[in-house]
Amino acid sequence: MQPKMRHTLIALFLLFPLFASIAAAEALPAGDEIARRINARNEGEVVSRFVTMAMTDRGGTERVRETKSFRKYFGKEKRVVIFYLSPANIKDTAFLTYDYPEADRDDDQWLYLPAARKVRRISASDRGDYFLGTDFTYEDIRKETKVGIEDYAWKTLGEEMIDGHRCFLVEQIPVNEKTANELGYGKVQSWVDAEIWMMRQAKFWDVAGNPLKTSQFKDIKPIQDIWTAHQLISENHKTGHKTVFTFKDVDYGRNVKDEIFTEDALRRGF
Amino acid sequence: MLALAGWFIAASALAAGASEDTKSATPNNLRVSAILESEGAYGITRDRASKLEFIIDPQLEYRFSEDTRFTAIARLYAEGFDHLEPGRPEQREIAPNSRRVLLGDRTDMELRELYLSTQLGKAHLTLGKQQVVWGKADGLKLLDVVNPQNFREFILDNFDDSRIPLWTVNAEISLGKSNLQFLWIPDRTYHLLPESGATFAFTSPLVVPQAPPGVAVDFRSIERPKNILTDSDVGMRLSTFWHGWDLTLNYLYHYADFPVFFQSLSITPSGAVVTVSPRYERNHLFGGSFSNAFGDLTVRGEVVYNTDRFLLTRNRADSGGVTKSGEMAYVLGLDWSGLQDTLVSGQLFQSWLLNSTNDIVRDTLDTTTSLLFRRHFLNETLEAEVLWLRNINEGDGLVRPKVSYELRDNMKVWLGFDVFHGNRNGLFGQFAQNDRLVTGIEIGF
């Protein structure tokens, strides 16, 4: 073999992994395409379910809340209401949110506190505040399994297996500092199931770049042909606090009345 | 102080003994739960324990269907020192069928709420003894006057405990994006005011007529409205959600819950006597409320016009020592939540008398402000707050720092101070001797 040809073959051999990885990356869907596929996934026009919220602190002390929640789409506007059923001292607490499709329109939110017997309008700008003592933010609660496409720059990093399922690994960087501060995240990495376009795991970093929390979506199975996570786990690495949402009696076919998504319904309770 | 410490240890032990797997929900349609609350107070100025109360609120809820349910809430109340309601209060302000059952000087039982809630077409009916809460303001009430209040602890008790539920027909009719509420309240129950000698008995000349020195006072029984139909209260509220605004229009035709103290001066063989004849007077309330959120800021408010406010005057010859005036009042509140887990809330209350005279004991324009700072820690298990209420006219006020902690799933404890300051003729300043340290525990079963 001519020395020149031998050198060319060696160079090709050495460069093969690079070409292969480039080719593989080109085969992966773009980050914002993955985000669009997540949001395009059918999650039902309506859903009702019981949610058990178990919160455990670093010392192992557990607090458990039983809730009933409903979600319904009104056109592209999504409304979610959560009624607390137990324990007795926070029973009848209720939360209502209207999530609007317009990116420049703040959501509307209300909280009913039984101690005051008043519905309180609450600011929706604190998307990164934690929801009633859990490790999920108000934004997490509003979005459920959807994502805020416009809040992040999306980039596909590769593929990994999570719980035996092929997932796309996506990096999300908030589009600007203001959004990062609102969300409370400086970076997010998400593992999105390549078959059903549902998140199976997400890691969050705070705005200073420190590891913040890890969320997992478990026990995913179809209910009335809609893929549904029956357990959400979020663990805060800074505080050692952990929240587990367990869903049961998930029903996408139930007739959920429009009136349940009103201030008066919050006051009357479930 | 030792008694309070002993109480706290006993209450904690009781909570620790409560089963961890206690559930408020039983299978099927029946839910049974209870809340045990105990609070002790130590009077700092008087240097004595001023309160040691135990409250048990058992609650039963039965769901007949998705739209129909029955709710019953009772209360067993015991207070160890008998300073808040000394002896056996006569409860003259309360309708006979709504009165508490007194089991002694320090213990009573009460049916707090008993109602059936159901849907009839577009109408939601709530029938029975219940609380109806209007308005957006915190701490002071303009629209939240449908139910009267027990002033056993002035305004220190939380409103859910101090509000007196009434037998009410409550119909709410859905009109698409709006809701129309009708109230018929045949229950002729009014504010329960502490009797003379109680820790929080009113003494301010703004609300209690003052006899001249050396003049005897003959205090007559309160004259109560008698007719269950013609003396009922009625109200309506139209609420709607419009371009991000929560709006209501309210109307209430009611007996004002504070009695009017009509006075007459007479000369008897034993000397001059002021006869005080309290009675309730009618009022038309027209009002509205609003709230909306703009970024980190929530704006809320209430506006009220009362047609017939009766106010004490300095001249007893003038209409029995009282005069009637219309009143315009509003509250404007701003809540700021720009810092995570933090709420800063300010409110401005103003009341303006439309037919004021120089004889009226209060100013034509009365202004009260409130400032609340609240912050949550440790996933909302720990809450610290300071509330400051201040009346500008009298220069008096109330400061309430408080820390509460959710020790367990169903158990909360708290420690706080209630500190009154300012002019002793003012509504807050009259209780300047009642500053207190408060500690409590609440357990849900």
Q: Report d(CA A130, CA A183) in Å as an integer.
A: 10
Provide mean pLDDT across the span B12-20.
45
Q: Report d(CA B387, CA B403) in Å as an integer.
A: 12
Residue B23 lies in a domain: no
CA within 13 Å, CB half, A93: 14
- Answer yes or no: do A130 and B244 touch at CB < 8 A: no
Q: Which domain holds residue A160?
A: 31-268
Helices marked H in chain A — which ranges? 3-27, 31-40, 138-143, 177-183, 263-268
Q: Which of B14-18, B55-59, B154-158 is predicted least confidently?
A: B14-18
- Chain A hits for B24, Cβ within 8 Å: 85-88, 91
Sign of the Cα pseudo-torsion (B117, B120, B122, B127, in order): negative
Q: Is the pLDDT of residue B45 over 70?
A: yes
- In chain B, how many domains are there? 1
Residue B24 lies in a domain: no
- Chain B hits for A206, Cβ within 8 Å: none
Strands (E), B1-140: 30-43, 48-63, 69-79, 101-102, 107-120, 123-130
Residue A15 lies in a domain: no
CA nearest to B381 within chain A: A133
Model pLDDT, residue B214: 83
CA of B35 vs chain A CAs: smallest distance (Å): 7
CA of A149 vs chain B CAs: smallest distance (Å): 20
Residue B26 lies in a domain: no
What is the distance between the terminal CA atoms of chain A, rounded to a whole angstrom?
83
Residue B19 lies in a domain: no
Model pLDDT, residue B33: 94
- In chain A, how many domains are there? 1
Mean per-residue pLDDT over chain B, rounded = 91
Distances, alpha carbon B233 to alpha carbons A92, B66, B171, B226, B284, in Å: 28, 31, 14, 13, 10
Phi, psi angles (nearest 5°) of residue B275: -100, 125
Say if CB B70 and CB B100 are below 8 A apart. no
- Answer yes or no: do B295 and A63 touch at CB < 8 A: no
Read off the CATH number of the domain in which A220 is found.
2.50.20.10
- Answer yes or no: do A121 and B59 touch at CB < 8 A: no
Model pLDDT, residue A2: 60
A10: exposed, middle or buried (Cβ count in 10 Å: 0-12, 13-18, 19+):
exposed
Q: Is the pLDDT of residue B270 over 90?
A: no
Residue A205 lies in a domain: yes
Provide mean pLDDT across the span B80-109.
94
**For residue B25, what pLDDT band results from cuts at 50, 70 and 90?**
very low
Residue A7 lies in a domain: no
Residue B125 lies in a domain: yes
Of B24, B179, B295, the CB nearest to A88: B24
Distances, alpha carbon B103 to alpha carbons B134, B192, B365, in Å: 33, 18, 45
- Chain B hits for A125, Cβ within 8 Å: 293, 295-296, 337
Q: Is the pLDDT of residue B17 over 90?
A: no
Read off the CATH number of the domain in which B376 is found.
2.40.160.10
Model pLDDT, residue A17: 54
Q: Is the peptide bond before B259 cis (omega within 30 degrees of 0)?
A: no
**For residue B20, what pLDDT band results from cuts at 50, 70 and 90?**
very low
Model pLDDT, residue B325: 95
8-state DSSP, B97: G
The residues near A50 (Cβ < 8 Å, ≥ 6 apart) are A66, A67, A68, A69, A247, A248, A249
Residue A194 lies in a domain: yes
Model pLDDT, residue A16: 55
Model pLDDT, residue A142: 84
Provide mean pLDDT across the span B277-299.
96
pLDDT tens digits for range A82-101:
999 999 888 999 999 999 98
Residue A14 lies in a domain: no
Model pLDDT, residue B159: 87
- Answer yes or no: do A91 and B34 touch at CB < 8 A: no
Q: Report which of A193, A190, A192 is spatially closest to residue A204, judged by C-alpha positions.
A: A190
- Answer yes or no: do A117 and B246 touch at CB < 8 A: no
Distances, alpha carbon B123 to alpha carbons A249, B237, B384, in Å: 29, 14, 41
pLDDT tens digits for range B340-383:
889 999 999 999 999 988 889 999 999 999 999 999 999 999 99
Residue B21 lies in a domain: no
Model pLDDT, residue A102: 87
Provide mean pLDDT across the span B45-71.
94
pLDDT tens digits for range B382-412:
999 999 999 999 999 999 999 999 998 899 9
Residue B22 lies in a domain: no
CA of A262 vs chain B CAs: smallest distance (Å): 9
Q: Which domain holds residue B315?
A: 2-14+33-444
Take residue B14 and report the two structure tokens written for it. Answer: 């009781």
Provide mean pLDDT across the span B118-142.
94
Model pLDDT, residue B2: 44
Compute, in degrees rounded to 10, the torsion defined by CA atoms A41, A234, B18, B112.
Answer: -50
- Chain A hits for B244, Cβ within 8 Å: 108
Percent over 90 (pLDDT), chain B: 80
What is the distance between the terminal CA atoms of chain B, rounded to a whole angstrom?
29
pLDDT tens digits for range B178-218:
999 999 999 999 999 999 999 999 999 999 998 888 889 89
Say if CB B400 and CB B6 are below 8 A apart. no
CA of A231 vs chain B CAs: smallest distance (Å): 20
Residue A59 lies in a domain: yes
Of B159, B179, B406, the CB nearest to A116: B159
The residues near B414 (Cβ < 8 Å, ≥ 6 apart) are B402, B403, B404, B405, B438, B439, B440, B441
Which regions in chain A score pLDDT beneath 70? 1-26, 125
B322: exposed, middle or buried (Cβ count in 10 Å: 0-12, 13-18, 19+):
buried
Q: Report d(CA B349, CA B331) in Å as an integer.
A: 4
